[in-house]
Amino acid sequence: MSDSEEEESPDRQLKLVVLGDGTAGKTSLAMRFAQETFGKQYKQTIGLDFYLKRIILPGNLNVTLQVWDVGGQTIGGKMLDKYIYGAQGILLVYDITNCQSFENLEDWYNVVKKVTEESEMQPLVALVGNKIDLEHMRTVKVDKHQRFCQENNFSSHFVSAKTGDSVFLCFQRIAAEILGIKLNKAEMEQSQVSFGNSDLQQRSRTGIWGCIKTAWGAALFLGIGKR
Ligand SMILES: Nc1nc2c(ncn2[C@@H]2O[C@H](COP(=O)(O)OP(=O)(O)OP(=O)(O)O)[C@@H](O)[C@H]2O)c(=O)[nH]1
C-alpha cells in the first residue's frame, strides 16, 4: 500500500431516508443526485429503492450517502418504521405545486418522531420543496415552508430534480450538517452552479445493485423498487 493510500481517511457512511407523498419527486431527486438522470415518466415506487453516492466534503472527507427512496404508498404500512430506523438524515419531500403533498408531511413527520423518540441520536430532518422549475404553478407559499422549518428546527431546501437545480447542494448541506462541518459561501455557491463537477464529487453509479455489496441484503427482502 502506498503512503498516500495509508493516509486516506476511511469513508463515513450516512443513511438518508427520503419520505413524502407519491409523485412528490423522491425517486427523481435520488436519481438526479446519484445518477444525474431524470425521467419524465412516472413509475410508482413499490416499497423502497436504494441509491449510493460518494461525495467529498471540505477537509477531504469522503462520505458515502446511502439514499433510501421510500415509496409514497408506504405510509400506514408495517415496513415504514423499519426503513426509518437508524437514519442519520430524513428528507421530507413535497411538490411546491401540490398543497396536499405539503400538508401530508405532518403525518410523515409524526411517523419519524415515533420511530426516533427513544433513540439517543436524533436524525437531522430536512424539508425539501421540489419542482422549483414549476415556480409559476407554485401553490405552497415560501412562508409556510419557512414556518414549518422554524417550528420544527428543520433544515430548509428548494430543488428541482428535473433541472438539477440545487440538488447536489441539498445533499451536500445535509451531509455536512449531520457531520458538523461548516460549508463556506464559496463552497455552497460552487455546488449550486456546478452540479456534476468532478472536482467536488466522486460518482458511484451503483444504484440498487451496489447496495447488495454493502450487505443490505436483508433489506432487499422487503419488496423493492419501481414496477
Ligand atoms: N417538473 C418537474 N417534474 C418532476 C420533478 N421531480 C419529479 N417530477 C415528475 O413528477 C412525477 C413523480 O416523480 P417521482 O420521482 O416518481 O415521484 P415519487 O415521489 O418517487 O413517487 P412515488 O414513487 O409514488 O413515491 C414524475 O412524472 C417526474 O418526472 C421536478 O423537479 N420538476
The atom number, within ligand 1, closest to the CA of 22 reads 24
Gap between the Cα atoms of 57 and 73, Å rounded? 34
Please write the tens of the pLDDT for every residue from 155-181. Answer: 999 999 999 999 999 999 999 999 999
Which pLDDT score is estimated for 161? 98
C-alpha–C-alpha distance, residues 54 and 47, integer Å = 24
Radius of gyration of the chain (CA): 17
pLDDT attached to residue 192: 60
User: For residue 53, what pLDDT band results from cuts at 50, 70 and 90?
Assistant: very high
pLDDT of residue 72 exceeding 90, the answer is yes
Give tens-digit pLDDT for 169-219. 999 999 999 999 988 877 777 666 544 433 333 333 333 443 333 334 334
Q: For all residues of the chain together, what is the average pLDDT? A: 85
Q: How many CB atoms lie within 10 A of CB 159?
A: 28
Give pLDDT, residue 9. Answer: 64
**pLDDT of the residue at 198:** 34
User: With pLDDT > 90 as the criterion, what percentage of the chain qualifies?
Assistant: 71
pLDDT > 70: percent of the chain = 79
> Is a pLDDT exceeding 80 seen at residue 57?
yes
pLDDT > 80? residue 100: yes
pTM of the model: 0.86
Sign of dihedral through CA atoms 34, 20, 173, 61? negative
Check if 71 has its Cβ closer than 6 Å to any atom of ligand 1. Answer: yes
Atom of ligand 1 nearest to the CA of 40: 29
Does ligand 1 have an atom closer than 6 angstroms to the CB of 23? yes
